[in-house]
A and B are shown apart, each in its own frame.
Chain A
Amino acid sequence: MSTTAVIAPYDPAVDAPKPHHAIYDYDSGPPVHRGKFAIWLFLATEIMFFTGLIGAYIVLRMGADTWPDPENRLAVLITAINTFILICSSATMVKAVEQAMLGNNSELVKWLAATVVIGATFVGVQVYEYMELIKAGNLPNVDIFWSTFYAMTGFHGLHVTVGVIWNFVVMIAAMRRKIPQEKYMTVELAGLYWHFVDLVWVLLFTIVYLM
């Protein structure tokens, strides 16, 4: 009597080589988009950076016998208008993110362009303010008021400049149709940074120019 060997078909669930680590049936990454997690981690360091600068200003001001009234040294009204300008750019950025989520590329480009132009205007006004102050001899080494003023507003201006460049690069990508609807997060991450810069300015304007 002869016997016939029966060979079972290959079943990957049974026959595939077993890995040396556990296999999860869920995403083991952070419970938010990885890019968003990364940008918030970066913004956490930025919060510490600006809190440190503002905190140093408060510590020094509390320790000084006298402190000049900012109204007598700074152009408060021009800077108030500049604050409006930055708030406008935050609103246009929100619209850009919204259009990216809807997959409306032409509107996305339009709102990003508006954000870039308005952001660059803010930087331009700040550069003008610096030029006028320096022309009047108000350099950072004159006294501690000017040292802290230039440190805080200078680093913020640098951040705005980086934000303008970032938004410009995203706008170029959108113009080349490299940001389809499913990649809206590219715009959202730039937007989070931009809103953070706006948020810092809102606090800086009050503390440096009005108090």
Chain B
Amino acid sequence: MSHDKGIGYSIWNIFVALFVLTAVEVFWGYAFHHNTGFMLKMPVALYWGGLLLMAVVKGLLIFMYFMHMRFERWIVWGLILPTPLLVMIVLAANMPDTSFNEQRDHPIGYLIDQTGEVVNALDPHHPAKGRGTPHGAPAPAAAGEGQH
């Protein structure tokens, strides 16, 4: 195993690819943001999908070349591949009780303030920093703050 052109790749090509992809990601974040994009307000799914795709490509470049997984044997792949899958199974099993649970006394992001009232700590546009009804009417939003 070597790290340079002898085995078919140049680390500087990978480095430039990572550099360019990060720059494009940041540009994407400012130009195409679903609320504040200065060029185009993309739909959320497309905006997030583009960012995730670039992040995954960058991660794969590091994983396959810098960590030379492209040249590793089956046993290393066997060690690594199941791990994220196992964690995702645990998280998926957890989602009905967290992400999709409408029966919580105190929804995610809400805090009990000093007066004992339940307030949405994530929504700065509600009075008293987001006092409102949990899972009620959509919170008012401006300039991207308080949005998914």
B82 to chain A, nearest CB (A): 8
Evaluate contact between A80 and B121: CB separation under 8 angstroms. Answer: no
Evaluate contact between B146 and A62: CB separation under 8 angstroms. Answer: no
Q: A12-20, A156-164, A173-181, A199-207: which lies at the B interface?
A: A199-207
Q: In the complex, which of the residues A55, A61, A207, A210 contacts B26, with contact meaning CB atoms closer than 8 Å? A: A210
Evaluate contact between B75 and A68: CB separation under 8 angstroms. Answer: no
Evaluate contact between A31 and B19: CB separation under 8 angstroms. Answer: no
Evaluate contact between A71 and B36: CB separation under 8 angstroms. Answer: yes
CB nearest to A145 among chain B residues: B122
For residue A138, CB closer than 8 A to chain B, the reply is no
Complex-state Cα separation, A91 to B61, whole angstroms: 12
Evaluate contact between A80 and B99: CB separation under 8 angstroms. Answer: no
Contacts of B22 in A (CB 8 A): 80, 83-84, 87, 202, 205
Number of CB contacts from chain A to chain B under 8 A: 195
Of B4, B35, B146, B148, most buried by chain A (CB within 10 Å of CB) is B148
Q: In the complex, which of the residues B80, B123, B135 contacts A44, with contact meaning CB atoms closer than 8 Å? A: B80
For residue B88, CB closer than 8 A to chain A, the reply is yes
Evaluate contact between A66 and B147: CB separation under 8 angstroms. Answer: yes
Interfacial residues of chain B within 1-16, with CB under 8 A of chain A in the complex? 2-4, 11-12, 14-15
Evaluate contact between A76 and B86: CB separation under 8 angstroms. Answer: no
For residue A94, CB closer than 8 A to chain B, the reply is yes
Complex-state Cα separation, A205 to B23, whole angstroms: 12
A128 to chain B, nearest CB (A): 19
Prevailing SS type, chain A contact patch: helix
For residue A110, CB closer than 8 A to chain B, the reply is no
Count of residues in B whose CB is under 8 Å from the partner chain: 70
Q: In the complex, which of the residues A44, A71, A77, A93 contacts B33, with contact meaning CB atoms closer than 8 Å? A: A71
Evaluate contact between A60 and B108: CB separation under 8 angstroms. Answer: yes
Contacts of B130 in A (CB 8 A): 66
Complex-state Cα separation, A98 to B11, whole angstroms: 10
Q: Contact size class for A?
A: 35 or more
Evaluate contact between A101 and B2: CB separation under 8 angstroms. Answer: yes
Interface bits B97-116 vs A (CB < 8 Å: 1, else 0): 01111000001110100000
CB nearest to A99 among chain B residues: B3
B72 to chain A, nearest CB (A): 7
Q: In the complex, which of the residues B4, B67, B109 contacts A199, with contact meaning CB atoms closer than 8 Å? A: B67
Q: In the complex, which of the residues B12, B18, B75, B109 contacts A65, with contact meaning CB atoms closer than 8 Å? A: B109
Evaluate contact between B148 and A66: CB separation under 8 angstroms. Answer: yes
A-B residue pairs in contact (CB < 8 Å), sample of 29 = A30-B75, A32-B76, A40-B80, A47-B83, A48-B83, A52-B87, A55-B91, A60-B108, A62-B100, A63-B108, A64-B108, A65-B107, A66-B148, A68-B122, A68-B124, A69-B146, A72-B143, A77-B26, A84-B22, A87-B18, A87-B22, A94-B3, A95-B11, A97-B3, A143-B122, A144-B122, A191-B66, A202-B22, A202-B58
Q: 4 tightest CB-CB pairs across the interface, nearest first?
A: A143-B121, A206-B55, A69-B144, A64-B109
Residue positions of A touching B, CB distance < 8 A? 30-32, 36-37, 40-41, 43-45, 47-48, 51-52, 55-56, 58-69, 71-72, 76-77, 80, 83-84, 87-88, 90-91, 93-95, 97-98, 101, 142-145, 191-192, 195-196, 198-199, 202-203, 205-207, 209-211
